[in-house]
């Protein structure tokens, strides 16, 4: 087996047993990126020199018997994280010359564990998109079928794992941007509870919704990466100071008697037949594993998408006001006054989807419309959160599809924003509620495209969705399938 095909757990054992060096592993991944990324376009920046230097340092730690869980492990990160001395674009032309002066907290924690950062991954601009076509660096392609989208906005994060370009990655999830691409690319992606992982140094889209999440080839690898980046951070005012469990220690716990809720609002008319079949088979698997499946209701689900696209765009309008050509990023060369410089810099630097969302959010916050739109959306958010609170009094986990269809063709929805937004119909409620959820492979369409299963957990109960996913993984072979590039 090639080094780049190993799981994180397998690679950890080989490194610790001195069967292979981190430098050898890192070179194998860098060669894999060079050989495949012309087809996938997952990377914006490949940090070859920095990665090899980190690998040499990791080998010294391993030789001194000082290795941690991620020492010497090659990981790539979405280009939304500030990385000291490295280009950080957020997928946008407006930041195409921004060299971050500091590390985001999650990057610092990876470096503390001596992980090897291979590079920065392509994404929808400012994390606004569901297909990774809204990027200043050309679309990402799905490794299972390069004519299909990988999902978004963390499309590069999912595609690079599926293409064996990185053993695991970090993405962000504002309305499904870790889980939906994970489903489309046949990998595991986890959106932690809001406040579980620090957002310090993460370029903001919608501050009350954004959350950092790991993507990996299996549940065990995902748990290890979450363990590294989770935890309280005084630099982030939304970070919650509660203990982080040992996620790996509880993965193999028995799920007999676990109550799994099936929200009737997620099994709707219009759900793709292949998706419905795969999820139904997953339900049958859980029943055979001894779990108890019960139908439940989340009655305000129908309002979630509308509420989300008011709250998220309003926050985006505020967060993106800082990009004006003054302190960092693109500055128009043709302006003849201060106001003209602001206007031209933003017009030249932002893509069409970012402009659309800024305008939506600015309108929702404007005088005379705030109460009718933004305030009402916040009330809807409260109702959605209350739905989850009530249903978790009766069940331990919720089971749903991740996306209503498998990965769709590139270009199919790029000119139809409403259809694109509806791609996240099953993931958005989780962000509004602020709780945790995971996507894991559960089958394939007749066309050979991966299908994802979503498990939703109680706030700060990532351990339960991880062990529930692990039980399914051990009973099936879907996570072992690999895209043939």
**Domain spans, the chain:** 3-256+470-480
Determine contact, residues 213/182, Cβ cutoff 8 Å.
Answer: no
Tens digit of each residue's pLDDT, the chain (485 residues) = 799 999 999 999 999 999 999 999 999 999 999 999 999 999 999 999 999 999 999 999 999 999 999 999 999 999 999 999 999 999 999 999 999 999 999 999 999 999 999 999 999 999 999 999 999 999 999 999 999 999 999 999 999 999 999 999 999 999 999 999 999 999 999 999 999 999 999 999 999 999 999 999 999 999 999 999 999 999 999 999 999 999 999 999 999 999 999 999 999 888 999 999 999 999 999 999 999 999 999 999 999 999 999 999 999 999 999 999 998 889 998 888 999 999 999 999 999 999 999 999 999 999 888 888 999 999 999 999 999 999 999 999 999 999 999 999 999 998 888 889 888 999 999 999 999 999 999 999 999 999 999 999 999 999 999 999 999 999 999 999 999 88
Beta pairing class for 188-191 and 259-263: unpaired
Is 345 a catalytic site residue? no
Three-class SS of residue 176?
coil
Q: Which of 196, 167, 174, 182 is nearest to 105 (CA)?
A: 196
Exactly one of 21, 177, 239, 445 is catalytic; which is it? 177
Is 157 a catalytic site residue? no
Determine contact, residues 395/417, Cβ cutoff 8 Å.
Answer: no
Beta pairing class for 292-296 and 259-263: parallel
Is 177 a catalytic site residue? yes
Q: Which of 76, 73, 47 is nearest to 154 (CA)?
A: 76
Please tell me the distance from the alpha carbon of residue 396 to that of residue 457, in angstroms, as a whole number: 7
Please tell me the distance from the alpha carbon of residue 78 to that of residue 212, in angstroms, as a whole number: 10
Q: Which CATH architecture has domain 3-256+470-480?
A: Alpha-Beta Complex (3.90)
Contacts of 335 (CB under 8 A, 6+ apart): 325, 341, 343, 344, 345
DSSP 8-state assignment for residue 266:
G
Asked if residue 153 has a cis previous peptide bond (ω within 30° of 0), the answer is yes
pTM: 0.96
Helix, strand, coil share (%) of the chain residues, nearest 5: 45, 15, 40
Determine contact, residues 386/440, Cβ cutoff 8 Å.
Answer: no
DSSP 8-state assignment for residue 371:
I
Kindly state the tokens that stand for 73. Answer: 């492990």
* In 197-242, alpha helices (H): 219-229
Please tell me the distance from the alpha carbon of residue 350 to that of residue 449, in angstroms, as a whole number: 32
Exactly one of 21, 78, 131, 413 is catalytic; which is it? 78
| Burial degree of 347 (CB within 10 A; 0-12, 13-18, 19+) | exposed
Exactly one of 22, 130, 131, 153 is catalytic; which is it? 153
- The residue to which tokens 């590294």 are assigned: 228
């Amino acid at each position: 087996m090639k080094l780049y095909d190993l799981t994180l757990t397998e690679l950890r054992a080989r490194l610790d047993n001195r069967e292979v060096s981190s430098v050898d592993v890192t070179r194998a991944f860098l060669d894999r990126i060079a050989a495949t990324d012309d087809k996938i376009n997952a990377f914006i920046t490949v940090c070859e020199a920095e990665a090899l230097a980190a690998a040499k340092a990791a080998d010294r730690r391993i030789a001194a018997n000082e290795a941690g869980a991620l020492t010497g492990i090659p990981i790539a990160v979405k280009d939304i994280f500030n990385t000291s001395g490295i280009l950080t674009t957020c997928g946008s032309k407006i930041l195409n010359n921004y060299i971050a002066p500091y590390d985001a907290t999650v990057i610092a924690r990876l470096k503390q564990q001596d992980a090897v950062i291979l590079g920065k991954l392509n994404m929808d601009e400012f994390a606004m998109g569901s297909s990774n076509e809204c990027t200043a660096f050309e679309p990402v392609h799905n490794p299972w079928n390069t004519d299909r989208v990988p999902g978004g906005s963390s499309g590069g994060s999912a595609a690079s794992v599926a293409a064996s370009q990185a053993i695991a990655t970090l993405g962000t999830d504002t309305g499904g941007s870790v889980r939906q691409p994970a489903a489309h690319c046949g990998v595991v992606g986890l959106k932690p509870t809001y406040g579980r992982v620090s957002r310090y140094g993460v370029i903001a889209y919608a501050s009350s919704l954004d959350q950092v999440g790991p993507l990996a080839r299996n549940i065990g690898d995902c748990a290890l990466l979450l363990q590294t980046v989770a935890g309280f951070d005084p630099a982030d005012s939304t970070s919650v100071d509660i203990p982080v469990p040992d996620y790996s220690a509880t993965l193999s716990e028995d799920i007999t008697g676990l109550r799994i809720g099936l929200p009737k609002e997620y099994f709707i008319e219009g759900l793709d037949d292949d998706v419905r079949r795969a999820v139904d088979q997953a339900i049958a698997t859980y029943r055979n594993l001894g779990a108890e499946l019960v139908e439940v209701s989340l009655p305000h689900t129908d309002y979630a998408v509308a509420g989300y696209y008011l709250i998220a765009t309003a926050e985006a309008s505020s967060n993106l006001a800082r990009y004006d050509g003054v302190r960092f990023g693109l500055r128009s060369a043709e302006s003849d006054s201060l106001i003209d410089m602001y206007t031209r810099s933003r017009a030249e630097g932002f893509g069409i989807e970012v402009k659309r969302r800024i305008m939506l959010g600015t309108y929702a916050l404007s005088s005379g419309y705030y109460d009718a739109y933004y305030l009402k959306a916040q009330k809807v958010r409260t109702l959605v959160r209350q739905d989850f609170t009530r249903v978790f009094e009766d069940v331990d986990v919720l089971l749903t599809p991740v996306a209503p269809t498998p990965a769709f063709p590139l270009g199919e929805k790029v000119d139809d924003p409403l259809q694109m937004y509806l791609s996240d119909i099953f993931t958005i409620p989780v962000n509004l509620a602020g709780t945790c959820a995971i996507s894991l492979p559960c089958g394939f369409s007749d066309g050979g495209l991966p299908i994802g299963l979503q498990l939703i957990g109680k706030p700060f109960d990532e351990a339960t969705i991880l062990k529930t996913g692990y039980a399914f993984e051990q009973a099936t072979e879907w996570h072992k399938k690999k895209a043939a590039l």
